[in-house]
Structure 1
Amino acid sequence: MKLTTRPGKPYPLGASWDGKGVNFAFYATHAEKVELCLFDKEQPDVESIRIAIRDRFDGVWHIYLPGIAPGQLYGYRVHGPYDPAKGHRHNPAKLLIDPYARAIAGRIEWNDALFGYEIGHKDADLSMSHADSAPYVPKSVVVDAFFNWGRDIQLNIPYHQSVIYELHVKGFTHLHPELPENIRGTYAALAHPVIIKYLKDLGVTAVELMPVHHFVADRHLVEKGLTNYWGYNTIGFFAPDVRYCSSGVNGEQVKEFKTMVKELHKAGIEVILDVVYNHTAEGNHLGPTLSFRGADNLSYYRLSNDDHRYYDDYTGTGNTLNAGNPNVLRLIMDSLRYWVTEMHVDGFRFDLAPALVRELRDADRLNAFFDIIHQDPVISQVKLIAEPWDITETGYLLGKFPPEWAEWNDKYRDTMRDYWRGADSKLADFAARFAGSADLYENTNRQPTSSINYIAAHDGFTLRDLVSYNDKHNEANGDDNKDGGDENRSWNCGAEGPTDDAGINELRSRQQRNFFATLLLSQGVPMISAGDELGRTQQGNNNAYCQDNEISWINWLQLDHDLLQFVQYLIKVRKQHPAFSRNRWFRGHALTGGGMEDIAWFLPNGDPMQEAHWQTGFAKSLGIFLHELESHNDDPLDEVISHENFYCIFNAHHEAVEYYLPGQQYGQQWKMIINTDRPDAVHARKIYRSGHPIKAAGRSMILLKSAGKTIRAAGE
């Protein structure tokens, strides 16, 4: 096969089809020679043609091939020094995935030939392997970028109106009985009317998809019969993973992903991607050569100052992407921009975000990464959510990201868990988290919506397991139950908990309702882990990263319908009443001319909390008054359209406690709209008067609204 070639252009990077041919542009600044390899779809393991690229500009090798069309499979071979001590690991025997590939056909087939060195050699990675890796590497794919988006645009739902739902594409849909079998576990399944109706009925405004960038299942897991189920092991930052595509592997995954986004947008649901730009799937110095390492190891990775043979590891995965290098930073920014402009996603959650902001060896808030995002007219306008820590001592940056960022708030998670399990935690901590974590965000010109609040996420116990297990059960992971950290938080509070089966089951159910009520009534942005509203269990596994099976998948035939209905109602309450989703801080004192506080704190006897009550000892009982000040719309001239008041009663004692309602200036009559002890009690029409007592059951939460406008519960 003979092809006509032209020099092409150095930008855009990747493979770009213009209707007549394809421009290939590949960054490899330290390479001495780069070859483009083409493969036929009928025989993807056999190289059909190899073309030496002769033109390069500023480290980018480029060539144009007339007549090449979408669906063409390709890869690269890079010649250059193989000198690990100096950071160079070029090896032309290794076929490389294009770091800018828009689609990747297939998965890694593990073989010793994938490694740049000879496995078992006495010099380990200092040796050089000459085995051809092409038969075992998935091929990059030329794609047709055209898609009929119609009128689709990003939804731009304000943070204070958002309820985020973290889900795994496969785990959420794989066992759903109402989905056609051929699309279960795929992007098409998330676009199906059955799934969209469920999300709409639940009331969430955004799905946060666990990693869908094309990733690699680690060799050691595959050899144990496991896999990298979560997907935090990226090899293609532009390519939607082929595992979740029902329609094909040669570019069809791009169209299917776009269709999913379009259908979710039609339903008013945003799509946020969990992205992993902090490391790649190539691991440490003993890892495989799949893409970045063979293209330009010295540029793409952070290497040890002492010996460039080794990698700086801020991620616990063996390597850290070198975002301080301008060309690597360009790759990250190009990827983010691609997912916004071409794939129409609405935002990103950045895994181990501090690993991206290290210009030297310590995380630096003034890093160029932040500056560039702040100035970018595309990326700065979507949701940016940080996991604000990495594995190092200097990598915990909760509360230190710039104003346009939101953050996963692990202090919220830990405080609320401690409170409801009856730990010796101070009410001041609980109050601070409930009111939006002003101690973390207010002094840096940020809002309550900077806090992404959550009780459970993919990493850790499900909510059902959190209230059911004292110890983790990760035996299926093959690491002697030593992985997954330590979450033995004693859900039943020792001797204070019930001992009979009926009492234990009721406590578990009530604790789940307590957590959901706390989460959805707190200031900040609530995030729900998919299936927690259904009572999903992982049988005590708190680290199911390698379990692509019934341990992780949602079982739609075993649902807690009562819990689901309760959560639907809670989300409805939150959406109907801006008191629970403010985009401004509480003032906490008398308002000008009104004589009314927007928030006030009370002891169970009805007396206001004083400074001494916050500072001394531990407590488990609190009453919170809220005055609804926010508008239901975004018109800045419409200051207030409702003056409804709310009173929240929190009782983490194992025994019932009487709470006296506050004085008449806070409200004369109250109606119960939430009771986690008796969810059906909200249907009662009983009116409670100021100064009168209400008995809150042990470990329960009650919400009252000033009598007047009513809220209809789900099913009423």
Structure 2
Amino acid sequence: MNLTFSELDFMKPELGAEYTGQGTHFAVFSAHAEKIELCLFSEDGREETARMPLPKREGDIWSGYIEGIGPGTLYGYRAHGPYDPHNGHRFNPNKLLLDPYAKLVAGDLIWDDALFGYTIGSPEGDLSFDERDSAPFMVKGVVQDPTFDWAGEEAIRRPWTETIIYESHVRGMTMTHPGVPDELRGTFLGMASDPIIEHLTKLGVSAIELMPVQYFLDDRYLVERNLRNYWGYQTLGFFAPHDRYLKGDRFTEFKTMVKRFHSVGIEVLMDVVYNHTAEGSERGPTLSFRGLDNFSYYRQSPDKPRHTYDTTGTGNTLNVAHPLVLRMVLDSLRYWVGVMHIDGFRFDLASTLGREYMEFDREGGFFDAIRQDPILAGVKLIAEPWDVGEGGYQLGGFPPPFREWNDRFRDDVRRFWKGDGGMVPVLAERILGSPVQFRHSDRAATSSINLVSAHDGFTLMDTVSYGEKHNEANGEENRDGHSDNHSDNMGAEGPTDNREIIEARKRRRAAMLATLMISQGVPMVLGGDELGNSQQGNNNAYCQDNEIGWLDWSGADDGFVDFCRKLLAFRKDRPVLRQERFLDGEPDENGRVEIAWYKADGSPMDEDAWHDAELRLICAYICRAGQGEAPPAGEIVLVLNAGGDCEIALPHGNGSRRWLRVLDTAADEPFGMRASADRDTIPAQSVVAFVPQEGSNG
């Protein structure tokens, strides 16, 4: 192919491969390279048809423009520079490198020793230099035309107080659904199909949080065991949708999915992994960042730059303290918002992003950049507030506008309902939105993302069906995954035909989900929990791209699905359960309180009651914050009973009341409405809610 770079003297500000309509502009960052070559390939990716040094360098940006090539062109880079591992430099032009800004990735990565910059098996280890060409085994970037018809689509921007998140997996959600066409299963278009949209809209969720959909790799050790990286937490392309989720070869399929969700009022959030990449430690492959500028892209050990510094447990840590690496992360986020119309992000191991060199800093550069960005500051931002490094657990430590996954909510709710002692005071904290963690720095009561289950750990069904993890299928002798799940098999390990156990499990699941929906904060439901989905006791199904990891639609409990639908509607209909600011237990000038706690006899909780390790019941009166003389719809009494049947005296709240029971998770008809006398019986293992009868103010 006889191609040359244009002599036009211009530098486009964008990095990556940008199609202009007449040609394509290529730009890539490297601070320490001595030469960067652009490599073009045949349509099937097998033949390298051109190799040309990028002609321009301004600062650390290398670029060039070629007229006449456009969408569909396959390309990659080779970087020349020092091979000096002791000082953190690992340039090897024999290795084809994926553009960090590639908008689409073509081909399948074939694991081969040629993908490594050093010679595997050499006595010198990662200090050796491998001369084999990796291009035959390497994926390539694809030039894309971003044109798409967004007509009629608008950003939703739903308030946090009205948000209910549904965490889901593209393949897991669609692979076994009988209504999804076979050719669309496991794809973005399958997620956008009528059966999935209908299920989510009927359920009543307001946002779907997709597990990683940026281009990721199947780890070599998994491939060698005939497994896959199902979850996707090994990103290599921060701008490209994962090719396994495409039916065809157009990234516009992702846009089609987003447009369809938006058309029914559902926001789309992405789980993103900017804390590390798929290249692993210094003994990992050279696929992109390592070959372009290892010293800049990755944090190096302070005293031994030969080794990557790892706060993620994956072998490397992306160096977001570097301005051009930080720019890549911000460019990626802006791209998914501006071009792909995403509504927000959940940041995996987000504490790593807040590390200024080594220590976490809530006023660090990453957070400052996000907060001052006019595009990103207005979307939903959720942190997983920990990593595996020293000082990495930072629940409550993130600045606004970030919300945070609250693992303490999950653990405390599970412990309360399985009957652990001394859980009443901590459960009260969780019901109020975890103010100990979040009530500071003018943060809202919606700062806590509440959950009782997530992709990592037991499903809700497995939490009440297994006392121990069962991860044997992962091939790690059941050593992987958490051992402290706060679960309870309730009398049988795994599936059972015992009707009493089945009903007890159903009652506890209902109570746990109800606790999630009546608590202040933002609830997140794990996809499949409404179906009664099980992973056969596997609490770390990261490599189970099969029936273990997929939702079992054939085993769906329709009655429980209906309960969940009504439970979400119950929350939506009651603003008192989803308030913007934290509730105050001190009386105002009119003697009104927003939150009060009571014992079963109707008297206020005292110190002895709060410290009673045998107490299994908690009763809360909640009023809408700052509402003055709140209408009856702004008041509710909640009773959570993890013990046996118990008679209680209903509290008066802010005056005399006659109460209507509007929720009883243990009843055959949980949402039936009936009047209650001054005293009422609360069934075992249940959440019961009361609202004032109209005109019952004393």
Q: Which category describes the TM-score, using the shorter chain as reference length?
A: over 0.9
Distance 1:562 1:347 in 2: 32
Measured at CA, do residues 408 and 664 of structure 1 come closer, stay the same or move farther in structure 2, by a change above 3 Å? closer
Distance 1:392 1:616 in 2: 37
Alignment of 1:306-385 (within 5 A): 306-385=303-382
Corresponding letter in the other structure for 2:21: G
Tell me, yes or no, if the aligned pair for 1:107 and 1:216 is still in contact at 8 Å: no
Q: Secondary structure at the match of 1:378?
A: coil
Distance 2:543 2:655 in 1: 52
Give the drift of 1:118. 0.8
Which residue is equivalent to 2:416? 419
Measured at CA, do residues 469 and 680 of structure 1 come closer, stay the same or move farther in structure 2, by a change above 3 Å? same
Give the drift of 1:640. 6.2
Distance 1:664 1:442 in 2: 24
Measured at CA, do residues 681 and 301 of structure 1 come closer, stay the same or move farther in structure 2, by a change above 3 Å? closer
- Which of 544, 556, 560 does residue 557 from structure 2 map onto? 560
Deviations 1:166-202 (A, max 9, x none): 0001100111111111111111111112211111100
Give the drift of 1:151. 3.5
- List alignment gaps of at least 5 residues for structure 1: 632-637, 710-716
Which residue is equivalent to 1:686? 674
Distance 2:91 2:461 in 1: 49
Measured at CA, do residues 377 and 681 of structure 1 come closer, stay the same or move farther in structure 2, by a change above 3 Å? closer
- Which of 38, 41, 45 does residue 40 from structure 2 map onto? 38
Give the drift of 1:69. 1.1
Which residue is equivalent to 2:91? 90
Corresponding letter in the other structure for 1:4: T
Which residue is equivalent to 1:672? 661
Instruction: Give yes or no for the alignment of 1:123 onto 2:124.
Output: yes
Instruction: Give yes or no for the alignment of 1:706 onto 2:692.
Output: yes
Distance 1:10 1:83 in 2: 32
Tell me, yes or no, if the aligned pair for 2:422 and 2:612 is still in contact at 8 Å: no
- List alignment gaps of at least 5 residues for structure 2: none
- Which of 278, 282, 298 does residue 285 from structure 1 map onto? 282
Q: Secondary structure at the match of 1:22?
A: strand
Measured at CA, do residues 517 and 315 of structure 1 come closer, stay the same or move farther in structure 2, by a change above 3 Å? same
Corresponding letter in the other structure for 2:196: I
Distance 1:557 1:82 in 2: 55
Give the drift of 1:628. 3.8
Give the drift of 1:450. 0.3
Instruction: Give yes or no for the alignment of 1:192 onto 2:193.
Output: yes
Corresponding letter in the other structure for 1:232: Y
Alignment of 1:63-142 (within 5 A): 63-142=64-143
Tell me, yes or no, if the aligned pair for 2:623 and 2:630 is still in contact at 8 Å: no
Tell me, yes or no, if the aligned pair for 1:469 and 1:488 is still in contact at 8 Å: no
Distance 2:115 2:619 in 1: 62
Q: Secondary structure at the match of 1:256?
A: helix
Q: Secondary structure at the match of 2:45?
A: strand
Tell me, yes or no, if the aligned pair for 1:30 and 1:296 is still in contact at 8 Å: yes
Deviations 1:650-687 (A, max 9, x none): 1111x21111212385553222222121141543x531
Deviations 1:512-554 (A, max 9, x none): 0011100001000000000001100000000000000000111
Corresponding letter in the other structure for 2:42: D
Give the drift of 1:411. 1.2
Which residue is equivalent to 1:649? 639
Deviations 1:315-353 (A, max 9, x none): 000000000101100100111111111111001100000
Measured at CA, do residues 490 and 144 of structure 1 come closer, stay the same or move farther in structure 2, by a change above 3 Å? closer
Q: Secondary structure at the match of 2:663?
A: strand
Which residue is equivalent to 1:634? none
Give the drift of 1:583. 0.7
Distance 2:676 2:380 in 1: 42
Which residue is equivalent to 2:3? 3
Measured at CA, do residues 682 and 371 of structure 1 come closer, stay the same or move farther in structure 2, by a change above 3 Å? closer
Give the drift of 1:562. 1.3
- Which of 577, 594, 601 does residue 597 from structure 2 map onto? 601
Distance 1:681 1:280 in 2: 47
Which residue is equivalent to 1:523? 520
Distance 1:642 1:295 in 2: 64
Which residue is equivalent to 1:713? none
Deviations 1:58-94 (A, max 9, x none): 1111000000010100000111111111111111110
Instruction: Tell me the number of residue pairs that the alignment of Structure 1 and Structure 2 aligns.
Output: 690
Percent identity of the aligned residues?
Answer: 47
Measured at CA, do residues 678 and 217 of structure 1 come closer, stay the same or move farther in structure 2, by a change above 3 Å? same
Tell me, yes or no, if the aligned pair for 2:446 and 2:522 is still in contact at 8 Å: yes
Corresponding letter in the other structure for 1:260: M
Tell me, yes or no, if the aligned pair for 2:463 and 2:489 is still in contact at 8 Å: no
Q: What RMSD over aligned residues (CA atoms) do the two structures have, in Å?
A: 1.9
Instruction: Give yes or no for the alignment of 1:304 onto 2:301.
Output: yes
Instruction: Give yes or no for the alignment of 1:583 onto 2:572.
Output: no
- Which of 459, 463, 472 does residue 460 from structure 2 map onto? 463
Corresponding letter in the other structure for 2:37: E
Deviations 1:359-381 (A, max 9, x none): 12211122111111111111111
Distance 2:662 2:424 in 1: 24
Distance 1:596 1:59 in 2: 63
Deviations 1:393-416 (A, max 9, x none): 301111111121100011111111
Instruction: Give yes or no for the alignment of 1:622 onto 2:618.
Output: yes
Measured at CA, do residues 558 and 585 of structure 1 come closer, stay the same or move farther in structure 2, by a change above 3 Å? same
Distance 1:308 1:590 in 2: 59
TM-score (norm 2): 0.96
Instruction: Give yes or no for the alignment of 1:182 onto 2:183.
Output: yes
Give the drift of 1:115. 0.6
Distance 1:419 1:482 in 2: 27
Tell me, yes or no, if the aligned pair for 2:579 and 2:624 is still in contact at 8 Å: no
Instruction: Give yes or no for the alignment of 1:256 onto 2:253.
Output: yes
Give the drift of 1:629. 5.1
Measured at CA, do residues 24 and 500 of structure 1 come closer, stay the same or move farther in structure 2, by a change above 3 Å? closer
Give the drift of 1:645. 2.6
Tell me, yes or no, if the aligned pair for 1:427 and 1:618 is still in contact at 8 Å: no
TM-score (norm 1): 0.94
Tell me, yes or no, if the aligned pair for 1:187 and 1:257 is still in contact at 8 Å: yes
Measured at CA, do residues 681 and 67 of structure 1 come closer, stay the same or move farther in structure 2, by a change above 3 Å? closer
Instruction: Give yes or no for the alignment of 1:437 onto 2:434.
Output: yes
